[in-house]
Structure 1
Amino acid sequence: MDTEAQHTERDPSSGTEDGSRSARVSEDAQGPGETRDPGGAGTAEETADAERTGAEPSASTWRRTALVGGACVVFLLLLSHFVMQPFLIPSRSMEPTLQVGDRILVNKLAYRFGSEPERGDVVVFDGTGSFVREQPPGNPVTGLLHDGAAALGLAEPDETDFVKRVVGVGGDRVVCCDADGRLTVNGVPVQEWYVKLGDRPSSVPFDIVVPPDRLWVMGDHRSQSSDSRDHLGSPGGGMVPVDRVVGRADWIAWPLGRWTTVQETDAFDAVPDAPAGGHGAAPHG
């Protein structure tokens, strides 16, 4: 039997009957008046709809984006108000520990559950009544916008907000300087390795006793810091009320190259607690 001849006879049948059925099915599926794109891209109307959908987000998409963005901002504001707040460092008063332009994260829970600031802590506080006088209220809208930007670390803190190091707590006697030019707390010299290289502990002599629930604070860059020493004659004597402390500076978050924790100090480890009866009144030097 000639297999090549048989194969030739089968081909015409496959090409006519089956091919015709396929063509008819394709035409029936298209419907009258429609033309099918040979490349399978669909009708011109479908293509136009697809282009419009890709080019212009729908109103619901915009609403969804706005809602998500608003929720994120509200979350950050709540986090900033109750838990952790970024602060921008605007001056050189805390060098070398903190530098101009640093954004620090302030732990607002550090003193919320019975704990109080300790000697050596770097704290942010509201200096109203101790470092600055009460100011008349300004424009509420401008103030609200600034507070929101400051809470997100996008603007400088209020002029009433300060960052300093706690040197003395309630009951402490803080003196500067002893015969060797050192600061002493409760009679014990403090080796202040965190002070800016080349600065003296203080160019202004003083001898003070910190009242209860108050703090004596100083900057690490002593020659560039306006701190408790500069407000000895002000109401409150330069002492910061504990309840005015916003929180403890625990991290440097920006710039990325300086991402680190704010290093703790052991400079005050040898300082004893203030005597129960107090030191008595000390002259303001």
Structure 2
Amino acid sequence: MIDEQTKKPSSFWRELPVLLGVAIIVAVVVRAFVLQTFYIPSESMENTLLIKDRVLVNKLVYDFRSPHRGEVIVFTAPDSWRNDPSEEDFIKRVIAVGGDHVLCCDDKQRITVNGTPLDETYIYANADGLQDLPSEEQFDITVPQGRLWVMGDHRSRSGDSRYNFIRTKDPNQATIAEDAVIGRAFVVFWPFNRAKWLSVPDTFDKVPDPTSK
């Protein structure tokens, strides 16, 4: 008769490498295709995201739909956007999608999308409450199909679509391709005292679809 007391520990140690292997495979698959963490290295999304914040990114969502206005996304930046070639991954907010007409600014200094002004309460404000302008430069562009107009929330510290359009006057160089998007940042999980959901601001609910897409 086999002693169950000696059988179980022996069985556990034989199965442990298999269990560890399965766990590693699951972790790799999840990171590659479903969820990934990203570290915030710059000021470009303050005060929504601060330097050293860590966000969780859904890499699966855009396999089923295109990015929406107002979402915070991580994407592979075009080479011309990078000060350092090794800085591949950028994080910005989607302001407009393919076919949208984006203009800066109306008579109240607001960016408009398809004629609707954005109430950008998320734009960076300093300790005294002084808020960045939506843009210090004027622009008027229709976003090419399949591309996105993205901007940082800290406008004076962000190399984004506005910056690259002013620099090049080229709608394609000023926007990013949808297939360059890695995923949607949907939560700040570290540090714990800053944990929060990255929801879409209500102002984007008012933006109509372009008249022709």
Normalising by structure 2, we get a TM-score of 0.82
| Number of the residue aligned with 1:249 | 185
Secondary structure of the residue that 2:206 maps to in structure 1? Answer: coil
Higher strand share: 2
Matches within 5 A, 1:240-279: 240-276=176-212
- Percent identical pairs in the alignment equals 46
Within 2, Cα distance between the matches of 1:98 and 1:71? 34
Q: Return the match for 1:199 from 113, 123, 132.
A: 132
Cα shift at 1:130: 5.9
Let me know the Cα RMSD of the aligned residues.
2.4
Cα offset, 1:247, TM superposition = 0.7
- Contact map agreement 1:130 1:240 (CA 8 A) in 2: no
Tell me the equivalent position of 2:143: 210
Mean CA deviation greater in 215-224 or 264-273 = 264-273
Asked if 1:122 corresponds to 2:67, the answer is no
Residue 188 of structure 1 corresponds to 116
Work out the CA distance in 1 between the residues paired with 2:196 and 2:204: 22
Q: Which has the higher contact order (CA 8 A, sep 6+)?
A: 2
**Which residue of structure 2 lines up, in the alignment, with residue 78 of structure 1?**
29
Distance 2:181 2:194 in 1: 25
Instruction: Using the TM superposition, give the Cα deviation of residue 229 of structure 1 relative to its aligned residue in structure 2, in angstroms.
Output: 1.6
Q: How does 1:28-177 map to 2 (within 5 A)?
A: 69=20, 71-113=22-64, 115-129=65-79, 131-132=81-82, 159-177=87-105
**How many matched pairs?**
194
Structure 1 unaligned residues grouped into runs of 5+: 1-59, 136-157, 279-285
Distance 1:204 1:73 in 2: 49
> Structure 1: how far apart are the matches of 2:78 and 2:18?
37
2:71 touches 2:199 (CA, 8 Å); kept in 1?
no
**Which digits, 9 at most, give the CA deviation of each residue in 1:129-188, with x for residues without a partner?**
56349x6xxxxxxxxxxxxxxxxxxxxxx6111100000101111111122111111111
Structure 2: state its 5+ residue gaps.
Answer: 1-11, 126-130
> CA contact under 8 A between 2:78 and 2:176: conserved in structure 1?
no
1:106 CA drift (Å): 0.5
Residue-by-residue CA offset, 1:15-68 (whole Å, 9 max, x unaligned): xxxxxxxxxxxxxxxxxxxxxxxxxxxxxxxxxxxxxxxxxxxxx96x976665
**Partner SS, residue 99 of structure 1:** coil
| Distance of 1:90 and 1:67 partners within structure 2 | 37
The corresponding residue for 1:179 is 107
